[in-house]
Structure 1
Amino acid sequence: SRSDARRAIEQGGGYVNNRRIDSLGYVLTASDLASETVIVLRRGKKKYALIQFANA
């Protein structure tokens, strides 16, 4: 949920491609892509999400 994500970031447990997110106002950019169309999100040690974007 949104509140769980907010707590994880505030407590230092939110990551984008293994880089810690320090700010609740963090905005994903093209430099955050792990490859051409993929971003890896992580919460804590074990919860991962792989987001793949379609080429438009």
Structure 2
Amino acid sequence: MNLSKSLYTKGIQCPKALWLKKYKKEVLTPPDEQALAIFETGNIVGALACQLFPEGREVPYTTN
């Protein structure tokens, strides 16, 4: 089984979550409105960080 860094971290934090992600994707539920709002806040913070540090390097995120 290949694990990305994010999946490895997920497994360290919660082995059951890793198992579900790898073997039972159909039982995972999509994020609710509150989680989506938190994600959007993160996107806003990321955009502000890019403005504050224009010489910085953005690290793209991909899911595996």
Q: Which has the larger radius of gyration?
A: 2
Normalised by the length of structure 1, the TM-score is: 0.32
Higher strand share: 1
Normalised by the length of structure 2, the TM-score is: 0.30
Larger RCO, structures 1/2 (Cα 8 Å, 6+ apart):
1
